[in-house]
Amino acid sequence: MSPWPAASHETLPWVPRGPLSRRAHQSMPAEYSSAVVPGVAEVEYSMHGETAGLIDRATITVAHFDAHDAARLVPFAPLLLRSESVASSRIEQLTSSSRRVMEAEILGVTTGNAGLIVANTRQMRAAITCDGAPDTASLLAMHRTLLESSAPDIAGRFREEPVWIGGSDLHPVDALFVPPHARHIPGLMADLNLFLARTDIPTLVHAALAHAQLETIHPFADGNGRTGRALIHALLHARGLSRHAALPVSAGLLQDIPTYFDALTVYRDGDPEPIVRLVAQCAIRAAELGTWLATELTEIRQDWARSVTARRDAVDWRILNILLSRPVVTARDVAEELGVSPANIRKALERLEANGVVLASQLERNTRAWRAPDVLELLDAFAARSGRRQQP
């Protein structure tokens, strides 16, 4: 196995942020230790034989999923993307029900957990639709998409201040990890750019190492984890391993968050094997979850077909397909998508309500929505299944 460079440390003066009380000022440290992160653009990496075998198995599993089961998911791809965004947000302890997230999307809500998850969905969508290999520009764009509504001052910009993980809110002395000083970020991101452009590394290994390196650099004031997981999707898409639907990798990581964080820690110490293995294992689990979701959605569609009483040429049937990808809708949005008058769509939704497919509710004074409980319950079940740790 080839060696992987470990981070070292430098001692820097600590300058307190903002005004402090006299007592707090007296307890402030004079200096702190910050990571010095090595570049990886040209590092050669070879795996243990067991890890290489796992990567091969995961690659075959993901390729099969993308070629077969993901094809079934194409009509439901927006739903899978939302599910993956929910899982990525849950890793950051941002939780909300599927219904609240969908309603927030309709209402344009940008605050609260639901609004942040909606933004994460937009970020994921940007990740899998960017042209070519991801680079610094696309990462900045993804970060801007994530935080432009909730934190516009830091969205799409590299940080200019120290950040740290764990420890005190006042200083980084007792932190679990202190990422590199802001002055190192431009050079490290330029190096990461070169690494992202490489094609000599197996795709899943490439995604795992790039993710871990970005997390180690921690280039943003906030949103590093969600952007780093979006980077995994961008690479899988750019390298052609996952083209039809977003592979729910975050759903796999969510099953064992401590192991995920431990893998990132040992990566910084020069051992990338755990994060490479974990991403491979999560990719296999993601394909299983995606297949399960596709099967459940197909069964819901079949159940609806038995319940709907409208003529076969009625717009009701076209609305069913929309509900499978977007289970909370307004008559206006559906009308725009299908090119049918809002009045006719409203009548169709009322028929679907009588058939037991949707339920109506008033979101705001002038906003009436219809939701598909079967799909929303499935999404919440998917989230619960994602967060349930597998038995060894």
For the chain, give every domain's residue range. Answer: 8-292, 309-380
CB 205 within 8 A of CB 227: no
Q: For position 392, what pLDDT does the model report?
A: 38
Options 171, 206, 211, 218, the catalytic residue: 218
Place of tokens 């991101």: 189
Q: How many Å apart are CA 230 and CA 226, to the nearest integer?
A: 6
Annotated binding site for ATP: 222-229
Distances (CA, A) of 391 to 32, 240, 274, 362: 41, 31, 19, 42
pTM over 0.85: yes
Q: How do the pLDDT tens digits run along the chain, 392 residues long?
A: 558 999 999 999 998 876 666 666 667 888 999 999 999 999 999 899 999 999 999 999 999 988 876 666 666 678 888 888 988 998 998 998 999 999 999 998 888 999 999 999 999 999 988 888 999 999 999 999 999 999 999 999 999 999 999 988 888 998 999 999 999 999 999 999 999 999 999 999 999 999 999 999 999 999 999 999 999 999 999 999 998 888 899 988 988 899 999 999 999 999 999 999 999 999 999 999 888 988 899 899 999 999 999 999 999 999 999 999 899 999 999 999 999 999 999 999 999 999 999 999 999 888 999 999 999 999 999 888 876 555 43
CATH 3.40.640.10 fits 8-292, yes or no: no
* 218 is annotated as an active-site residue: yes
Name the CATH code of domain 309-380 (choices 1.10.260.40, 1.10.10.10, 3.90.226.10, 3.40.50.300).
1.10.10.10
Strands 367-371 and 328-330, how do they pair? antiparallel
pLDDT given for residue 29 in this prediction = 85
pLDDT at 2: 56
The annotated binding site is made up of 222-229
Report pLDDT for 70.
63
Is the separation of the CB atoms in 316 and 352 below 8 Å? yes
Q: What radius of gyration, in Å, describes the C-alpha atoms of the chain? A: 23
